[in-house]
Chains A and B, each alone.
Chain A
């Protein structure tokens, strides 16, 4: 999330006011070497307390939602999840819709998820997951917040047409049901670590209002999602105040579990624009009496229901939440042997074993692979940069950034995932998507993999589109190092990003066909997987989707290079050994400039420690050398990374990535 458009506007204002005279001077050039990173000592991060929703809490949340839905005359499906993503309740009011329609394309020519019929339960789960996953102890985001940051302009408002896209453009296609990283619900909660997170979402993250985080004693414990209306939509204009019954029911459900006021999205600005938490207001909630759960469950009001792949097998009963940070949640603090930096969190299988122990590259047959020590060094240095970085989305101000760091090899295989103890959960899957996407587009095999994609006939066409657009018949064969910021430049419905009147980037839908439910290659590559899954959820298909995304060639058995899908917003860079691609590092969980810096500077510092045996891409190879000539002769350069303004808590340095 950028903090700098406002800075540029201030600059413009000062240029306009030139005749007023004055104006200070200061050097914009920063140091040519990274600031020394202090050795971390002792506890650096506050560890979230182990809180969890009890079954009584979940009942209360459901009944509050039902009361408000009743007061507003809607028939809704209500879902409660915990922070790791386990579904604790799916309650369907009698006569609630069985399915809803995804918002169609603006011009009616639908692609991917647009205009698809989806189970109402899936929509409600996605909303609840969104509330739980986008939030943390330092920020409380709702599905309306998500809507604000995934559109073609940020902020989505009439006054802002022409500005660049939302900072988390594309995040809706994460936590995918096909993700190899996300855990799946085990019917009967059997097996090892049934409550391990992060869990998947049937539709990725939601932009339809009606999903909120739930807090208990100030600690994030889950999310609630409500779906009743016919369209699974998003908020196109944040300046109006929508009266959305789903949002009211979900907000009413949070009573007693409200997000602390100080960390709600409406106290957190991005580029100077305050994010939206809710158009619904607590004081306008209509319901006053809250029925008992017994009076609404299995009665004429409604009942708990099963949802395949998520909840209620063998019988639908309310589940207690799993405390985030415990072994059972699959997200716990690393032991000293697992990771050297204090307060790091790793993913485990719920039985004590790390799911992604740090290891060397699996691609030694093709490249001079990353060693385990190198992967570890990259993770350590990125963690150190993160611990110094000023968080952009967290309150109170001057909190440390908290993100998830993923390192992959050229096959997209995970070489290690570590995270800060209170980083938003969504960033686990997203950081891996970003690492894989950077490694994929920088890979010599990119064009071949895309061209060889089966079952999704549109995917191979993107190779030609990119080559035509860049006027480079060899594009996507590894000549260029693509960060996810650069990849995202090509993956927007305007090129350059946000410039109204320009045609789309080669990986994107055109603006006439675009909405957040179809972004282009990103959504096309995985929509068959989502659809397979929804058939399963709908009980149409007996089998669930495969546990790896896309139909591109399998580089290992049941693994593609992007096994949890592409991600197309900034926060990753490819890793090079000299001129050879050896992997990628992806970051997610804070502002996108922070994510960029932690990946780029973390890798640069690791290179420094390792005598440059590995490093960032050589400057000449980076995507910011790619100049796209537009039809009217203007030239537009791709971006590589953008390190943020005053990024560190322990220094006032600027331009900290200069010269690296």
Chain B
């Protein structure tokens, strides 16, 4: 584009302008043209800040420069000028903000003509220099070139094509097209053909297909679209570190080491060489390869020097430095293209073997080279992408972290399904949903690393062998919303750990994780804001203070314990009457699974007014659920009043007998009698059992006994609490402890 003259308040540009001013106008033009050529921005800057006497001169110079530079640019480039050629009017006002008040316009300047065409001889309009163009004038396409040299193709002028693309038969010819064997561009020539240059085309890095013409017949590779890619990577880490290092427990490197921490300085050297071979079949730049075979081996050498004993090896007698090396198999897979689904090469593919995989944009959940099977592909012009993968985790070498295929793989499997959607929910943002299932069965395996330290079970907590199943469900996003770049992940982990390593009991896993990073780019600067939040897993210890929120809203101990609030609660207790139905279902389920456990359900007497109880009772008798025992807390009161005032229950025992239950009436305050009857219920066959436990609500606290208003509103004053505790026989210390909570 032709330079328009912009006036920018910029002191730094001033000396340059003044220099231009000192030169003659011709030289000035040359100077400007030179600027134009060598500056990527190419805007001549003037200063408005200095109200200099040379303003007018400057403007003249500028105008001249503009004209001459414009000509020069047009001549050099054949580019399309944008209306300034031949037009001596310096600039539009818009391009020169604030210039109005600087030079007064010539007093007698004639008004410009309405349309310059009317003043020009029409024949002049047809005359134009070869290669030039003029706004508003289209001479028509040049004559078509007739090809008469078979097999040859000439690069046509871009204007010959309706679009700006040029089909090239093979992707390896993309570069050669710009890099013929003979070329006048010596610099490019070196780039193309120097074997030392990384851009040099080479059969060994997949730039050109293999020539398989001389290959013996028994090698099953045919065709001219096989590519070989050899890769070699060298990674060197030199890391001096300083952080607290404990002295050895059994012996120390130096005398006088009488504290837990010794000297802090350590050095880590690590050198990894990765060599890879890939054999790929596939033709074009955009079409995915039909098949790929890939192997990558990594050789790591590492050296660590620490100041203290028993840091690098479990054996305290061993020295405080260590050299180790290992050859790991980081990639070994076959990728078979299953087929294309659309003109734009939407595809499905299967990849089997040790392969890299990252489960989300940032690899929060899984980012490893592991043994697995993965089916992946895309749909809808690549707007959808998906992965279905199963991995069997390999053991890692201790000191290199590389895959150790000489050891039995771990009894740990990861199953991944994810789906990406581009431009969703807003353009330029890709959304992903992920479900990962991790199945671990390492209960009977111990693993000690090559330095002698225990790895599994980790030397943490109870050390009991354990297995666990966890499902991770998550949403991730990556892209931008407007000018704000966003990358974010949210996960929930749900599952079961059969021996929690802290509590030593089976526990639910329920944990959440969220991470987000927002960034904003300004010029070369990027401003980032990162946040990460993870909940602790719920280990099953119950916060004793939470029980103080009994019958409070949002408390886990609200009136009806809820299965979602209390991990050890298997079923919610509301609505009234459902408990009995749940118990019947559990009892049937246990019987079907031949599990000899028994189900007990507590029923309130007011609850017996719910019809669902009687449906369940009928069902239990029908199914002869002798593994079910219901206990009715028969205190004759419910929330609002006495049962009898609301709906009479008697004759209660007869009702249950009529339903086909084994019935016992007991004193609900007599523990031996309760235990005795529960045992009898356990011995009853072919019938469910019900214990009608006659109780007194508020038993032991005189002012509460048999008063319905105390049912659901246990709000006690300190005096009332003391009175109740006294009546219940609390000792002075218990009283103090309970009252001071």
Interface residues of A (CB under 8 A from B): 2, 4-9, 11-12, 14-19, 21, 23-30, 49, 155, 157-164, 217, 238-239, 241, 266, 269, 271-274, 276, 288-289, 489, 496-499, 502, 593, 600, 619, 622, 624-625, 630, 634-645, 654-658, 660
Known: A28-B261, A654-B259. 19 other contacts (CB 8 A): A2-B249, A4-B249, A8-B311, A11-B244, A11-B245, A14-B243, A15-B306, A25-B241, A155-B463, A164-B249, A266-B504, A272-B459, A289-B675, A502-B317, A593-B260, A634-B319, A636-B316, A639-B252, A640-B258
Residues in A with CB closer than 8 Å to B448 are: 159, 161-162
Q: What are 13 A-B residue pairs whose CB atoms fall within 8 Å in the complex?
A: A4-B246, A9-B459, A18-B239, A25-B241, A159-B459, A162-B448, A269-B461, A499-B317, A624-B255, A624-B258, A645-B246, A645-B261, A658-B258
Instruction: Decide if B83 is an interface residue (CB 8 Å cutoff).
Output: no
B451 interfacial by beta-carbon distance below 8 Å:
yes
Q: In the complex, what's the smallest C-beta–C-beta distance from A234 to chain B, in angstroms?
A: 17
Smallest CB separation, A631 vs chain B (Å): 11
A274 to B257, CA, bound (A): 28
- Chain A residues lying within 8 Å of B243, measured Cβ to Cβ, are 11, 14, 23-26, 28
Q: Is B546 in contact with chain A by the CB < 8 A criterion? A: no
Chain A residues, Cβ within 8 Å of B32:
none
Q: Are A12 and B311 in contact (CB under 8 A)?
A: yes
B462 touches A636 (CB 8 A): no
**What chain A residues lie within 8 Å of B315 (beta carbons)?**
162, 496, 499
Bound state CA distance, A644 and B259, in angstroms? 7
Of the residues A28, A273, A502, contact of B245 by C-beta under 8 Å: A28
Assess whether A645 is in contact with B260, with CB atoms less than 8 Å apart. Answer: yes
| Alpha-carbon separation in the docked complex, A163 to B460 (Å) | 14
Contact of B332 with A by CB under 8 A: no
Q: How far is the CB of B288 from chain A (nearest CB, A)?
A: 32
C-alpha gap A622/B251 in the complex (Å): 14
Mark out the residues of chain B between 235 and 276 whose CB falls within 8 Å of any chain A CB in the assembled complex: 235, 237, 239, 241-264, 266, 268, 270
B507 at the interface (CB under 8 A from A): no
> Would B312 and A12 count as touching, CB distance under 8 A?
yes
B502 within 8 A of A: yes
The verdict on B611 contacting chain A, using a C-beta distance below 8 Å, is no
In the complex, which residues of chain A have a beta carbon less than 8 angstroms from the beta carbon of B132? none
Task: Let me know if B453 and A9 touch, CB within 8 A.
Answer: yes
Q: Give 10 nearest A-B pairs by CB, closest first.
A: A18-B268, A655-B259, A28-B264, A159-B454, A497-B250, A28-B261, A28-B244, A634-B317, A159-B446, A162-B314
Given A15-B312, A496-B250: A274 and B502 within 8 A (CB)? yes
Q: Does B643 contact A (CB under 8 A)?
A: no
Q: Which residue of B lies closest to A499 (CB)?
A: B315
B100 on the interface (CB 8 Å rule)?
Answer: no
Q: Which of A6, A15, A26, A619 contacts B460 (CB 8 A)?
A: A6
List residues of chain B with CB within 8 A of the CB of A641: 258
Residues in B neighbouring A657, C-beta threshold 8 A? 258-259
Instruction: Determine the residue in chain A with the shortest Cβ distance to B262.
Output: A28
Q: Is B464 an interface residue (CB 8 A)?
A: yes
A14 to B257, CA, bound (A): 22
Complexed CA–CA distance, A272 and B458 (Å): 10
Interface contact A642-B456, CB-CB below 8 Å = no
Chain A residues with Cβ under 8 A from B733's Cβ? Answer: 49, 217
Task: Count A-B pairs with CB separation below 8 Å.
Answer: 213
**Given A273-B463, A639-B251, A655-B261, CB of A160 within 8 Å of CB of B256:** no
Q: Does B393 count as interface, using CB distance less than 8 angstroms?
A: no
- Residues on A with C-beta less than 8 A from B304 are 15, 18
Which of the residues A499, A635, A658 comes within 8 Å of B259, measured between beta carbons? A658
B250 to chain A, nearest CB (A): 4
Chain A min CB distance to B448 (Å): 6
- CB–CB A15/B311 < 8 A: yes
User: Assuming A159-B457, A637-B252, A645-B260, is B317 touching A496 (CB within 8 A)?
Assistant: yes
Q: CA of A656 to CA of B261 in the docked complex: distance in angstroms?
A: 10
Q: Which residues of B contact A645 (CB under 8 A)?
A: 246, 260-261
- By a CB distance below 8 angstroms, the chain A residues around B235 are 19
CB closest chain-A residue, reference B254: A637
Q: Are A163 and B314 in contact (CB under 8 A)?
A: yes
In-complex Cβ contact of A272 among B245, B253, B461 (8 A): B461
With A8-B246, A24-B243, A499-B315 as contacts: A643 and B259 at CB distance below 8 Å: yes
User: What's the least CB distance linking A241 to chain B, in Å?
Assistant: 8
> Is B463's CB under 8 angstroms from A159's CB?
yes
Asked whether A15 and B268 contact (CB < 8 A) given A272-B459, A274-B461, the answer is yes
Q: How close is B168's CB to chain A, nearest CB, in angstroms?
A: 41
Name B455's closest neighbour in chain A (CB-CB). Answer: A159
State whether A27 touches B264 (Cβ < 8 A): yes
- Chain A hits for B401, CB < 8 A: 16-17, 19
Of chain A, the residue at the smallest CB distance from B453 is: A9
| CB <8 Å contact, B251 and A5 | no
Tell me the minimal C-beta distance from A21 to chain B in angstroms: 8
A7 to B675, CA, bound (A): 51
Chain A residue nearest to B268 (CB atoms) is: A18
Closest chain A residue, CB of each to CB of B451: A12
Residue among A15, A273, A635 with max Cβ neighbours from chain B (10 Å): A15
Interface residues of B in 452-506 (CB under 8 A from A): 452-457, 459-465, 501-502, 504
Decide if A274 touches B261 in the complex (CB within 8 Å).
no
Q: Would A654 and B261 be within 8 Å (CB), given that A8-B311, A637-B255 are in contact?
A: yes
Q: What is the bound-complex CA distance between A24 and B504, given in angstroms?
A: 34
Max chain A C-beta neighbours (<10 A), residue from B250, B316, B465, B501: B250
Q: Which residues of B contact A635 (CB under 8 A)?
A: 317
- In the complex, the answer to whether A619 meets B459 with C-beta atoms within 8 Å is no
Looking across the interface, which residue of chain B has its beta carbon closest to that of A30? B259
Contact between chains at B252 and A644 (CB < 8 Å) = no
Bound-state CA distance A25–B262 (Å) is: 14
Report the Cα distance A6→B260, complex, angstroms: 12
- State whether the Cβ of B731 lies closer than 8 Å to any Cβ in chain A: yes
Min C-beta distance of B465 to chain A, whole Å:
6
Which chain B residue has the least Cβ–Cβ distance from A659?
B256
- Tell me the nearest residue of chain A to B249, going by C-beta: A164
Residues of B within 8 A of A600 (CB): 258
Distance in Å from the Cβ of B134 to the closest Cβ of chain A?
A: 61
Q: Which residue of A lies closest to B678 (CB)?
A: A288
Residues of chain A lying within 8 A (CB to CB) of residue B452: 162
Interface centre among B310, B447, B457, B460 (most CB of A within 10 A): B310
Q: Given the known A-B contacts A7-B246, A266-B504, A640-B258, are A19 and B675 also in contact in the complex, defined by CB atoms under 8 Å?
A: no
With most chain A CB atoms within 10 A of its CB, the pick from B261, B451, B455, B457 is B261
Restricting to B314-346, which residues have a CB under 8 Å from any CB of A? Answer: 314-319
CA distance A11 to B264 in the complex (A): 11
Chain B residues with CB under 8 Å of A30's CB are 259, 261
Distance of A420 from chain B, by nearest CB (Å)? 22
| Docked CA distance A168–B733 (Å) | 35
Q: Which among A639, A643, A645 has the highest number of chain B CB atoms within 10 Å?
A: A639
Which residues of chain B come closer than 8 Å to A656, judged between CB atoms? 259
The answer to whether B263 and A499 touch across the interface, beta carbons within 8 angstroms, is no
Nearest CB in chain A to that of B461: its residue: A274
With a 10 A CB-CB cut-off, give which of B259, B448, B460 has the most chain A CB atoms. B259
Question: When chains A and B are docked, how far (Å) is the Cα of A16 from the Cα of B455?
Answer: 13
Q: Does residue B555 face the partner (Cβ distance < 8 Å to A)?
A: no
User: Does B573 sit within 8 A of A, measured CB to CB?
Assistant: no
C-alpha gap A643/B259 in the complex (Å): 5
| A164, A217, A619: the one within 8 Å of B255 (CB) | A619
A-chain residues with CB within 8 Å of residue B302 when the two chains form the complex: 18
Return chain A residues, CB-CB under 8 Å to B248: 8
Cβ-based interface call for B91 (8 A): no
Complex CA gap A4/B249 in Å reads 8
- The interface residues of chain B lying within 8 Å CB-to-CB of A622 are 255-256
B10 interface residue per 8 A CB criterion: no
Q: Which residue of A lies closest to B544 (CB)?
A: A262
- Known contacts A159-B446, A159-B454: A644-B504 contact under CB 8 Å: no
Give the chain A neighbours of B270 by CB distance below 8 A: 18-19
Closest CB of chain A to B235's CB: distance in Å? 8
